[in-house]
């Protein structure tokens, strides 16, 4: 069973988030506040148990009396199957969510209209999610396929350029823009390498941070400068071979041209496992480990992977692919049990089955070779995962599935209120966990 470290006091947390501009669940300077309180403090139930949620709605901090709240109920990111309404009394009402016969999550989607303006909110509760298992099966030649793929890149010499970036360097850290060549075809990736200033030979752990989804620049390389400040070498990479020093407008233009819903990079070549776009991406993560472990300042022991969303997926994938990795941290991983829709429930981002023409035998076959759950089955090192229940991008169903298949020392920080985001405190907690798991 996942060790639940849910932040105590749902109301306290929500009010705290209201003070932070980056808190998505309670928009900055909003006139209204939703508070949803499941009748189990951890938002978890056993299958067969009945769940209710007390709904509170405030405007200007004043409980709204007599307002009608409409609700829809449905399984995690699936269409609603039940509709109803309740009337607030002293700003409160109770919605009966019911139960589930099979492990999973139910989503209560709320809507209230005041003075012609509609406000929405939602809350998910889980039913025996520790018993969720993947639909995705392990291909018989999974190991053979990836061993062969890794052997191909191993024959290519390690080639890279490293250029100091003054604007991201400080009195405590040095930052470099690295261009790392992947293969003889000239394909490369870029990344920012942040290092402790005046680091010594053989002294530093290395941390690989793959990116979230999209074609975009690496934003704010100094956001996680505390890694280098506390002695780690950190490589924050991109996966498309696009120089992160390009402008936002240039990235947007490229993304609009080559990353549409029907022709995005995550579906590029999905009909054939050998030609799928993400094969190069997964191998780029291994090549990045080659680069990091070649640095004379590496301590020779600690290799950590850390990321969120697509980056969380790539962290877990790299941990399953490369035995040099010694610890893994992943937030709400994407690419997890992607074919889960075939079981009649939520599947993982990028939600291929929402696009016509994606449910084919060839595409399903390729997905299995690239799904996080099959890499998670191979992980033996300490692994730390975080996720929230209200996430509709990388739903809690798929995060639990990944966690449940891990057969290694593992810990989880579950923050139910979170949608597809993590707080600065949670992000810094990742470093603290990493430091505790150094060799």
The residues carrying an active-site annotation are 309, 391, 420
Q: Identify the helix (H) or strand (E) that includes residue 427.
A: helix 424-436
Using N-to-C axis directions, what is the helix angle for 277-294 and 142-154, rounded to 10°?
60
Give dist(CA 356, CA 335) in Å, integer.
Answer: 18
Contact 161, 179 (CB under 8 A): yes
Tokens of 141: 């030649």
Closest CA to 126 of 430, 403, 422, 429: 403
* Exposed e or buried b per residue across 4-32, where buried means at least 16 C-beta atoms within 10 angstroms of its C-beta: eebbeebeebbeebbeeeebebbeeeeeb
**Cα→Cα distances 439→202, 301, 328, 435, Å:** 13, 7, 13, 9
Closest CA to 18 of 5, 8, 31, 6: 31
Helix (H, G, I), strand (E, B) or coil at 388: coil
Q: Identify the helix (H) or strand (E) that includes residue 80.
A: strand 80-87
Tokens of 391: 């996430």
Provide the β-strand partners of residue 410. Answer: 383
Closest CA to 386 of 25, 6, 1: 6
Half-sphere exposure of 37 toward its Cβ, with a 13 Å CA cutoff? 14
Give dist(CA 236, CA 259) in Å, integer.
Answer: 22
State the first-to-last Cα distance of the chain, in angstroms, to the nearest integer.
27
Closest CA to 242 of 279, 268, 214, 264: 214
Give dist(CA 29, CA 11) in Å, integer.
Answer: 17
Q: Identify the helix (H) or strand (E) that includes residue 292.
A: helix 277-294
In whole angstroms, how large is the CA radius of gyration of the chain?
A: 23
Tokens of 210: 């793959």
């Amino acid at each position: 069973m996942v060790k639940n470290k849910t932040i105590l006091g749902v109301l306290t947390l929500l009010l705290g988030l209201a003070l932070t501009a980056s808190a998505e669940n309670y928009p900055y300077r909003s006139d209204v506040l939703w508070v949803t309180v499941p009748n189990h403090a951890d938002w978890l139930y056993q299958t067969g148990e009945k769940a209710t949620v007390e709904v509170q709605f405030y405007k200007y901090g004043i409980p709204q009396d007599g307002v009608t709240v409409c609700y829809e109920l449905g399984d995690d990111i699936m269409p609603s199957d039940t509709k109803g309404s309740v009337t607030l009394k002293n700003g409160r009402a109770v919605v009966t969510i019911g139960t589930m016969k099979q492990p999973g999550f139910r989503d209560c989607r709320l809507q209230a209209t005041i003075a012609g303006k509609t406000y929405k909110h939602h809350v998910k509760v889980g039913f025996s999610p520790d018993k969720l298992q993947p639909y995705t099966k392990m291909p018989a030649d999974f190991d053979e396929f990836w061993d062969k793929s890794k052997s191909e890149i191993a024959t290519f010499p390690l080639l890279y350029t490293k250029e100091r970036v003054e604007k991201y360097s400080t009195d405590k850290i040095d930052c470099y823009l690295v261009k790392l060549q992947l293969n003889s075809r000239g394909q490369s990736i870029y990344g920012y390498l942040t290092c402790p200033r005046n680091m010594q030979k053989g002294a530093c752990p290395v941390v690989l941070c793959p990116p979230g989804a999209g074609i975009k620049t690496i934003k704010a390389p100094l956001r996680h400068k505390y890694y280098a400040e506390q002695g780690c070498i950190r490589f924050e990479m991109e996966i498309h071979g696009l120089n992160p020093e390009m402008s936002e407008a240039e990235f947007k233009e490229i993304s609009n041209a080559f990353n549409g819903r029907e022709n995005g990079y995550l579906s590029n070549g999905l009909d054939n496992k050998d030609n799928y776009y993400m094969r190069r991406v997964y191998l780029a993560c291994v090549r990045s480990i080659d680069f990091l472990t070649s640095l004379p300042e590496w301590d020779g022991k600690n290799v950590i992977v850390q990321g969120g969303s697509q980056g969380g997926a790539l962290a877990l994938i790299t941990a399953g692919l490369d035995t040099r990795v010694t610890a893994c941290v992943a937030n709400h991983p994407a690419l997890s049990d992607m074919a889960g829709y075939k079981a009649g429930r939520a599947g993982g981002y990028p939600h291929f089955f929402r696009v016509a023409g994606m449910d084919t035998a060839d595409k399903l076959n390729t997905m299995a070779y690239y799904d996080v759950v099959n890499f998670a089955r191979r992980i033996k090192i300490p692994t730390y995962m975080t996720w929230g229940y209200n996430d509709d991008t990388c739903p809690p169903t798929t995060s639990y599935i990944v966690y449940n298949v891990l057969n290694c020392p593992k810990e989880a920080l579950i923050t139910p209120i979170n949608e597809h985001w993590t707080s600065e405190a949670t992000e810094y907690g990742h470093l603290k966990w990493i430091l505790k798991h150094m060799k």
